[in-house]
Structure 1
Amino acid sequence: MSIRVGLRHVTEYRYDRLVNLGPQIVRLRPAPHCRTPVRSYSLEIDPKQHFINWQQDPHGNFQARLVFDEPTDVFRIGVDLVADLTVINPFDFFIEEGAEEFPFEYDPELKKTLQPFLECLPPTPLYKSYLRSIDLSPRRSVDFVVDVNQRLQRDISYVIRLEPGVQTPEETLDKGKGSCRDSAWLAVQLLRSVGLAARFVSGYLIQLVPDQKPLEGPEGPAKDFTDLHAWAEVFIPGAGWIGLDPTSGLLTGEGHIPLAATPFPQSAAPISGAVDECEVEFGFDMEVTRIHEDPRVTKPYSESQWTQIDTLGHKVDDWLKSNDVRLTMGGEP
C-alpha cells in the first residue's frame, strides 16, 4: 500500500536589471538510484527562450544544462513530480561475508573505483579529538554506521542556516550545530576517516502527518511537509549505498528522494552557474499534496466510506436483479 503525492518546487531569481546568464546546471531530477517510485516529472524554465540539454554527470546523476541567448531580469525553475510513497525497509539487503564485521577492507579493484569517496580533508584539532572518541571496536558493520549516525544526531543540533555553502567539519564541531548539509558533510568525513567510502547527497525530503501518534519519541510533523535536504550514503559490499540521515539519526526511507550524490557538496548543489554582476532577490516555494491514499491498517475506511461502499453494493445487486442476471454452475455431477 502506498500514498501517492505531488510535489511542487519553484525557485526564482529576480535581478535589478537585464543580465546575461551563463550556462546554468540544474540538479533537480530524481537520481537513478532513487528507490521511491516517481510516476511523472516535469521541469519548467523561465525565460522560455532557452536551450536545454539533459546529461548525466560523472557519477550518473541527472542534470539539465541550460543556455540562454538573450538578457533577462528573471530566472525561474519549476519542478513538478508525482511519487508513490511505498514503505521502504532500509535494512533490506544482504552484506557480503567479508564486510559483515567492522572494520573490513574493500577488494583492491573495488577500492580503486571508490577512491573519490575515500578522500579525507586534512585533519584539524577538534575533528581529530572527535574522531578519537568514536568507538571503533569490532562489531557488525551495520551497527557501526547506525551508531555513528545516531551519535551525530545527538551531538549536533539542527538549525536552519540560510547562508550559502557548507561548514567544515571543524566549524560544525566547534559550534555544536549546523544545517542538514553541515551534518551530512561531517558524517561523510567521519566515515571516510575510518576507511568507509561515503558520499554527500542532496535531495527532497517528504514528511507526512502520521496516521497515529507514536507512543514515545517525536510525534512527527504537524502538517504534510517537503523541503530540500541533505544526507550521507556509505558503501558496504553486498548492500551497496546505504542512506544515513544524521539530522534525524535514522536510515533514509521512502520520503528521501535523492537528486545528486557526489564526493563533495559543491558538485551536488541544486542550481549552479554564472550571472552578470547585479542585485538579486531570491525566493522559493515548496508544497506537497496527497493525490491518492490506499486504505491501510493505521487508516482504514471511515464509516462514511463504508456506507458509500455498501450503498454501491446494493445498487449493483438491484441492477443485476432487474436485468435477470443469475449465476449458474455446470459440470459433471
Structure 2
Amino acid sequence: MKLRIRHDTTYRYRNPVELETHRLMLMPRNSHDLRILSNSVRIAPHAEVEWTQDVFGNLVASAHFSERTSQLCISTDILVEQHAPAWPVFRIAPVAHSYPFRYSDEEIADLGAHMKTHYPDDGGKFDQWVQGFVYGTGTDTLSLLKDVNTGIGDAIAYRVRDEAGTQAPLETLSLGSGSCRDMAALFIDAVRHLGFGARAVSGYLYDPDQPASDPGSTHAWAEVYLPSAGWIAFDPTHRRVGSANLIAVAAGRCNKQIMPVAGGFIGAAEDFIDMDVRVSVASA
C-alpha cells in the first residue's frame, strides 16, 4: 500500500521575530514494513538544515534561520510504501509466552530507561490500577498487553487537546479523557509498572474512512518489546495492535523527546498569534 503524507505547520507572529533553531522530526523511519519512496521538506523563510540521528536512531533536521519573519511555514510531502499485515502473528520467544517472565540480562541492559516508569505514583494508586489487569500467574503475555490496551481505550474518552505537554497517567484516569499522546503515555507507564520495556512513538495514522476534506493530525501510540517478536505497536486510542495503517516517524523514551516540531523565537510573548497544523494521509 502506497501512502502520500502531506504535513504543513504554520506559525504566525504580530511582528517580525528572530527564530531560534527548530528541531524537526518529520521523516518516517524505514523498517521491514515501511519504506520511504520519496520525500521533500520546504521551509520558509529560508533555513540552513542539518540532518543528524538522535540516540534512538531517529532522523532529526535542525533548521537554522538568519532573517526575522512574521510567519514560519514548514511543509513536507512524503511518499511511503507500507505493508504491515492487518492481522499480524507475533513470534514471541517461548520464555516470554506467559507473564511474568524475565528479559535476558542483555535485553535488560539495552532496554534501560525504557523499563523505568516516567511519572511518580505517590501512594501506589496507579500501580494498584495496573495490577487489576493481571488475573494471576501464567497469564498469556500478549493477552495481558491487549487487555491493558483495550482497557485504556474503554476507560478514556479521546479528545483533541491543543495544550502543550502530556498529562500524567493519574490525571488522565481522573479526567477520564485525553489526547492520543496522553493515552499512549498512560499505556507506556502501565506496562512499565508490569515490568515491560516500552517506548513512545509519534507519526501518522492512515484512516481510509476519513473524508478527503478532513484536515488530519499527527498521531501517537506505544510499542512494547517482546523477545524474538521485537517492538510491537499498541494504539490504545483505537484499541489496535500491530503497525497496520501506522506510519512511525520517531520513537523515544517519552513523548517530549519525539515532538514533530520544536523551537522558539526571540521577541515579546504577545507577538505569537497562533499555530496551524494540517495533515493529510491518503492512498497514492
Mark yes or no: TM-score above 0.5: yes
Give, as a single letter, the amino acid of the residue that structure 1 aligns with 2:244: E
Aligned residues between the structures:
277
Identify the residue that residue 184 of structure 1 maps to in structure 2.
Answer: 184
Question: 3-state DSSP class of the match of 2:90?
Answer: coil
Alignment of 1:206 with 2:206, yes or no, is: yes
Give, as a single letter, the amino acid of the residue that structure 2 aligns with 1:208: P
Q: What CA deviation, in whole Å up to 9, does each residue of 1:259-304 have, x standing for no partner?
A: 111001110111112211332321122223433xxxxxxxxxxxxx
Identify the residue that residue 173 of structure 2 maps to in structure 1.
Answer: 173
Identify the residue that residue 103 of structure 1 maps to in structure 2.
Answer: 100
Q: What CA deviation, in whole Å up to 9, does each residue of 1:71-98 have, x standing for no partner?
A: 2221111011112343524533311121
Aligned partners of 1:166 and 1:265 also within 8 Å:
yes
Decide whether aligned partners of structure 1 residues 286 and 89 sit closer, same or farther in structure 2, where only a CA change above 3 A counts. Answer: closer
Alignment of 1:61 with 2:58, yes or no, is: yes
The correspondence of residues 71-90 of structure 1 with structure 2, limited to 5 A, is 71-86=68-83, 88-89=85-86
Q: Give the distance between the partners of 1:174 and 1:91, measured in 2 at CA.
A: 33
Q: What CA deviation, in whole Å up to 9, does each residue of 1:24-80 have, x standing for no partner?
A: 1000110234723332111111112x2111111100011101111222221111011
Give, as a single letter, the amino acid of the residue that structure 1 aligns with 2:147: D
Q: Give the distance between the partners of 1:105 and 1:160, measured in 2 at CA.
A: 38
Aligned partners of 2:45 and 2:67 also within 8 Å:
no
Of 210, 213, 222, which aligns to 1:232?
222
Alignment of 1:286 with 2:283, yes or no, is: no
Give, as a single letter, the amino acid of the residue that structure 2 aligns with 1:65: S
Displacement after TM superposition at 1:119 (Å): 1.3
Identify the residue that residue 26 of structure 2 maps to in structure 1.
Answer: 28
Q: Give the distance between the partners of 2:279 and 2:86, measured in 1 at CA.
A: 27
Alignment of 1:273 with 2:271, yes or no, is: no
Give, as a single letter, the amino acid of the residue that structure 2 aligns with 1:114: L
Alignment of 1:260 with 2:259, yes or no, is: no
Q: Give the distance between the partners of 1:54 and 1:252, measured in 2 at CA.
A: 29
Q: Give the distance between the partners of 1:85 and 1:223, measured in 2 at CA.
A: 20
Question: 3-state DSSP class of the match of 1:173?
Answer: helix
Question: 3-state DSSP class of the match of 2:283?
Answer: strand
Name the % identity: 30
Decide whether aligned partners of structure 1 residues 224 and 73 sit closer, same or farther in structure 2, where only a CA change above 3 A counts. Answer: closer
Q: What CA deviation, in whole Å up to 9, does each residue of 1:232-260 have, x standing for no partner?
A: 10000101100000011111333111111
The correspondence of residues 136-175 of structure 1 with structure 2, limited to 5 A, is 136-137=135-136, 138-175=138-175
Q: Give the distance between the partners of 1:101 and 1:58, measured in 2 at CA.
A: 32
Displacement after TM superposition at 1:201 (Å): 0.8
Decide whether aligned partners of structure 1 residues 34 and 190 sit closer, same or farther in structure 2, where only a CA change above 3 A counts. Answer: farther
Alignment of 1:135 with 2:134, yes or no, is: yes
Displacement after TM superposition at 1:110 (Å): 1.4
Aligned partners of 1:166 and 1:181 also within 8 Å:
yes
Aligned partners of 2:181 and 2:221 also within 8 Å:
yes
Give, as a single letter, the amino acid of the residue that structure 1 aligns with 2:279: M
Displacement after TM superposition at 1:204 (Å): 0.7
Flag structure 2 segments of 5+ consecutive residues without an equivalent. Answer: none
Flag structure 1 segments of 5+ consecutive residues without an equivalent. Answer: 210-220, 292-333
Aligned partners of 1:25 and 1:273 also within 8 Å:
yes
Aligned partners of 1:37 and 1:85 also within 8 Å:
yes
Q: What CA deviation, in whole Å up to 9, does each residue of 1:182-232 have, x standing for no partner?
A: 0000000001001000011111111113xxxxxxxxxxx456864201001
What's the RMSD between the two structures over aligned residues? 1.9
Decide whether aligned partners of structure 1 residues 98 and 132 sit closer, same or farther in structure 2, where only a CA change above 3 A counts. Answer: closer
Question: 3-state DSSP class of the match of 1:170?
Answer: helix
Q: Give the distance between the partners of 2:12 and 2:213, measured in 1 at CA.
A: 29
Aligned partners of 1:32 and 1:62 also within 8 Å:
no
Q: Give the distance between the partners of 1:257 and 1:267, measured in 2 at CA.
A: 18
Identify the residue that residue 52 of structure 1 maps to in structure 2.
Answer: 49
Question: 3-state DSSP class of the match of 1:200?
Answer: strand
Of 204, 229, 232, which aligns to 1:242?
232
What's the TM-score once normalised by structure 1's chain length? 0.78
Identify the residue that residue 115 of structure 1 maps to in structure 2.
Answer: 112
* Greater Cα radius of gyration, structure 1 or 2: 1
Identify the residue that residue 9 of structure 1 maps to in structure 2.
Answer: 7
